[in-house]
Structure 1
Amino acid sequence: MGVAVGGAAAAAAQHVPAHHLSQAPPVLWGPRFTNPWPTWTGDKSLADVWGLMSKMRALGAPAWGYLSSNRSPSLEDCARAFPLVPPDAAALAAPPADAVQALWVGHASLLVQMEGVAFMTDPFFSQRSSPVQFLGPRRAVQPALVPEDAAMPRLDFVLLSHNHYDHLDTGSVDRLHRRFGPELAWYVPLGMKAWFSGRGITNVTELDWWQEVQHPGSKVRVVMTPAQHWSARGALDRRATLWGGWAVLGHDLRFWFAGDTGYCPVFKEIGDRLGPFDLAAIPIGAYEPRDFMRPMHIGPEEALQVHRDVRSRKSVGVHCCTFFLTTEPLDEPPRLLQQVLAQQQLDASEFVTLRHGALLQTAGGVDLNSPPLLPLSE
């Protein structure tokens, strides 16, 4: 018996994931994707964005931001507040076989080594988080490791969470491609492959939420996980490409990178389906003003809840202390995280913030071999 066309169309429609708004081909204007949870309150209006920009201008801070005790710090003041740790070249050259090893480059960029592979999350080496390098938020702290450094190990792949300018940086992508060539694999959300193709980079795999691939020649699987956020690189492409986090699952070790996200119910599902994780990288900054940022960015208290939801044995705070993107002081997120850990009577080593360039090694999620970011400037 044949199936009526209308019935087939209805059946197909039922299989469209809740975060897909349509099955249309990629376009330069959106949206194509959405956040399917009640915690998502929708896109901000131009008036909302202008209000946030006005609040940031009213702070009178320089392009690299301000500190809790200094509204107009120099870059030298920031260097004292956030001391760089020289990368441990010997450790990078010989990572432990029974641990996840991670080096914080800055912002959302981690260099991670586990089970014979090395990869980066949202690599960013440029001076400004902006479409142009003469205007926009400027680095408060220099990147701890760049592609041209002798200490940079061979990378197998890169994980991109979404296409905002503080996560997908043209100059950084080009520098990695020049250093490692076409052998370097890029794992990206749906809709982003075309951007890379336009730059001559073809070793790119697009994934949807919950899709996974085995990285060639390795024991690890790469899984894209949901997040509550959005995407855009211009005025006409809001939510035209997907966003999310990434799990890297080895034979014995598991790592998870949250990407950018507001708090939503999906984190418990991530923990149930893919956890527990030996190490998780969870954003702790860019959360104020809270009424504006809550749907898209978590703060330290919510980050700790995410840590619990995904069943992470140890977590490291990222997306902080590097770029002035929202109204809180640059040095506030790690201080608040420390306070929340103390209030909830948790061991401070369970969720740490590293100095830029510091290494964390976790055997079963318990072994830290580098000092935390705190204490910061007095």
Structure 2
Amino acid sequence: MKTFKLFGAAVLGIVLLIVFVIFSCSSRDKKSFSEIQWKQKVEDTRVEDLYAPHFKEGRFYTPWMEMGDKSFLDVLGWKLFSKTHYTSEETDFLPRVTPDTAERLDQVRGDFILWIGHNTFLIRIDKVYWITDPVFSKRALLPARLTPPALSLKELNEIVKDLNILISHNHYDHLDRSTMKQLPRDAAVFVPRGLKTYVMGMDKTNVRELDWWEAVDTGKGSTLICLPAQHWSMRIGQGRNRSLWAAWLLKTPKATLYFGGDSGYFKGFREIGRKYPDIDYAFMPITAYHPRWFMQYQHMNIPEAVKAFEDLGARFFIPTQWGTFHLGSEPAGFPGLDLIRHIRKNNLDLFRFNIMDVGQILPLN
């Protein structure tokens, strides 16, 4: 009888704990989040902190606004109880996939931008090839691809002999071990601080590590600059914020390209636009921004991404990271549709927004 009572008390305790967790998590959905307050919080940050030290006690951080740790209940609240209704159009919308990319690429003689998928773009400028955050695997750790890469790794390696690789940070949808190990061993790889040794372990011999605002001459009159972003890092075997996250600016005699990586909205976009005017193409992240109460620090929604683009003063907007992996609460293709609606609603110049198909080859003007 005593054992039965103890068992009953234990069961009751577990039930009460589950009820408490459910109540706590459900209350976190849309919990006291205000877009107005968030905008004010951004405005209250200081531009000079963009240049401040950002490493202490073995971890990197954003000195203008630290992220703070999400609790287990926050994560559980997002995953289990953050519900948003999406229409069938919003659920089903995905980028078109243009076939026969390798054959079409073989006919291109000039400079171009090719969207391979997610944040993976192949760029050729003055016969020099660059690839951003190459991910060709079927999964980004757990999420599966909903659209295939425009090229296979075999096709890429046959087409490109001398390759430059840009890595924005260590999250699995941006740094894929399987892909990296299959790219040329002597490819030039540029990574943020804290990632050099890790990436060299992916069978890479030519890895250059840069800090925010640091620049490197890449030849032919071109310069690559590592820039701040508002994000974070973590990976199995690499603790939270043990390596830096970054955006990149590639200045060439023909064009200047900004690669945003992953970032929430912050004053850095204005400062980058001021410091480096005449950006031609801005590759802007639009992914995983629902729910806002959970995502607003590290990911921009569509209005913020467009504002960041305007802050940069760039000529053309290229949306990235939509339509491949389901990462936020919103469907994978939803950000692309959301951007189209935003452009129409606000009568923006559609010519400045290059919403590419997977496999589309965009000539560099």
TM-score (norm 1): 0.77
Q: Is 1:21 aligned to 2:21, yes or no? A: no
Counterpart selection for 2:115 from 101, 104, 114: 104
Structure 1: how far apart are the matches of 2:352 and 2:89?
A: 30
Residue 76 of structure 2: SS of its match in structure 1? helix
Structure 1's consecutive aligned runs of 4 or more residues displaced over 6 angstroms after TM superposition are none
Deviations along 1:72-118, whole A, 9 cap, x unmatched? x8xxx78xx44311216454564425xxx211111111111113311
| 1:1-378 correspondence runs (5 A) | 18-22=52-56, 30=58, 32-38=59-65, 40-55=66-81, 68-69=87-88, 81-86=94-99, 87=101, 89-91=103-105, 94-96=108-110, 101-130=112-141, 136-149=142-155, 152-176=159-183, 180-182=184-186, 184-215=187-218, 217-234=219-236, 237-363=239-365
Q: CA RMSD in A?
A: 2.6
The answer to whether the 8 Å contact 2:120/2:133 transfers is yes
One-letter amino acid matched to 1:36: P
* Conserved? CA contact 1:286–1:319, under 8 Å: no
* Unpaired segments ≥5 residues, structure 2: 1-48
Contact 2:114 2:123 in 1 (8 A): yes
Query: Aligned partners of 2:50, 2:364: CA distance in 1, in Å?
Result: 39
Aligned position for 2:45? none
> Which amino acid in the other structure matches residue 98 of structure 2?
V
Query: 2-side partners of 1:326 and 1:42: how far apart?
Result: 19
In 2 relative to 1, CA 68–322 (structure 1 residues): closer, same or farther, beyond 3 Å?
A: farther
Deviation at 1:16, TM superposition (A): 12
Structure 1 residue 35: deviation in Å?
1.1
**Is the 1:116–1:218 contact (alpha carbons within 8 Å) kept by the matching residues of 2?**
no
Q: What amino acid sits opposite 1:308 in the alignment?
A: E
- Measured against aligned partners, the alpha-carbon deviations of 1:38-61 in whole angstroms (never above 9, x if no partner) come to 4x54232222122222247x78xx
Aligned length: 315
Distance 1:68 1:355, change over 3 A: farther
Alpha carbons 1:55, 1:327 under 8 Å: kept: no
Shift of 1:315: 1.3
What CA deviation, in whole Å up to 9, does each residue of 1:6-48 have, x standing for no partner?
xxxxxxxxx99524233x6xxxxx5x2111224x542322221
Matched-pair contact (CA < 8 Å) for 1:95–1:113: no
**Offset of residue 336 of structure 1:** 1.4
Once the two structures are aligned, what percentage of the paired residues are identical? 34
Partner SS state of residue 88, structure 2: coil
Distance in 1 separating the partners of 2:249 and 2:305: 17
Is the CA contact 1:260–1:283 (under 8 Å) kept in the aligned structure 2? yes
Q: Which has the larger radius of gyration?
A: 2
